[in-house]
Amino acid sequence: MRTMGKQDNIYESGNLSGLPFAFNKEVTEVFEDMIDRSVPGYKTSLSLISLFAKQYYQEGTNCYDLGCSLGASSLSVLKSIPSARVIGIDNSKAMIEECLSRFETLITNQSLSFLCEDIMKSEIRNASFITVNYLVQFLDLAQRDNLFKKIHKALLPGGILLMSEKVHYENSYESNRIFKTHHKFKSVNGYSQLEISSKRDSLEGVLITESEDDHFLRGRRVGFERSAKVLSNLNFRTLIFFK
């Protein structure tokens, strides 16, 4: 498998502030470095995908990685269950093109497939394990219940949804405190103040967080029987929903 490993310096000059963030070719080229330096616990969330897939994947069923980007979550599933049938879906042409070239062998062996689609229009079915790693935050608020309903319907009894998201707190003092700590996290990882603030501007209105409770309530609303928090790292969470 080939990786690009290019360093994220997209916002270094600050001349991109004002432009809305998009998962285009430029972001695709630096994506691994960007997500690793910006999302506390990202690698742990991938390890949890391996662990939970091993526990809940049912042979002969489908496993979906919705908003797959460069297929890191898909690969985490295959690491623990090489026999799994994994389908990664993303609406970024640049991301899917890169997946198709990186994972050529796994695709030929039919363990993995990638679709360039809007997940709100994709057909998902016969699933025992669905992972949605840092995607819901990029959907319109009005679409989120529909996505959850769709996931719930596609899951077989005993199946699970594993979701990672950035969250906010209802309490503004707490939100501000965690915001500052997250800012420090990025700064320690080599981003300058200018890069951090330019990226924040470009994500304005594109990345819309909800609270942890909002996600749990949505799970209950669409019919998930149980849910739990399995990872909490600053303002990022991984939640599990059981059908």
Ligand X SMILES: C[S@@+](CC[C@H](N)C(=O)[O-])C[C@H]1O[C@@H](n2cnc3c(N)ncnc32)[C@H](O)[C@@H]1O
How many residues lie near ligand X (CB under 6 A)? 20
The correct pick among 34, 78, 119, 222 for binding ligand X (CB under 6 A) is: 119
3-state secondary structure 25-70: HHHHHHHHHHHHHHCCCHHHHHHHHHHHHHHHCCCCCEEEEECCCC
128 binds ligand X (CB under 6 A): no
> In whole angstroms, what is the distance from residue 230 CA to residue 206 CA?
26
Q: How far is the CB of 91 from ligand X (least distance, A)?
A: 4
| Side-chain half-sphere CA neighbours of 48 within 13 A | 22
Q: How far is the CB of 133 from ligand X (least distance, A)?
A: 3
The correct pick among 11, 29, 64, 90 for binding ligand X (CB under 6 A) is: 90
Q: Which residue number is nearest to ligand X in terms of Cβ?
A: 67
The correct pick among 48, 72, 106, 239 for binding ligand X (CB under 6 A) is: 72
The correct pick among 133, 198, 235, 238 for binding ligand X (CB under 6 A) is: 133
Tokens of 63: 């496993």
Q: How far is the CB of 152 from ligand X (least distance, A)?
A: 18
The residue range among 83-91, 182-190, 195-203, 225-233 that interacts with ligand X, by the rule CB under 6 A, is 83-91
4 binds ligand X (CB under 6 A): no
Is the separation of the CB atoms in 99 and 114 below 8 Å?
yes
Is the separation of the CB atoms in 137 and 208 below 8 Å?
yes
209 binds ligand X (CB under 6 A): no
Dihedral angle of Cα 48, 50, 56, 62, to the nearest 10 degrees: 120
Closest by CA to 148, choosing from 229, 212, 89, 215, is 215
Residues that bind ligand X (CB under 6 A): 23, 35, 67-69, 72-73, 89-92, 95, 118-120, 133-135, 138-139
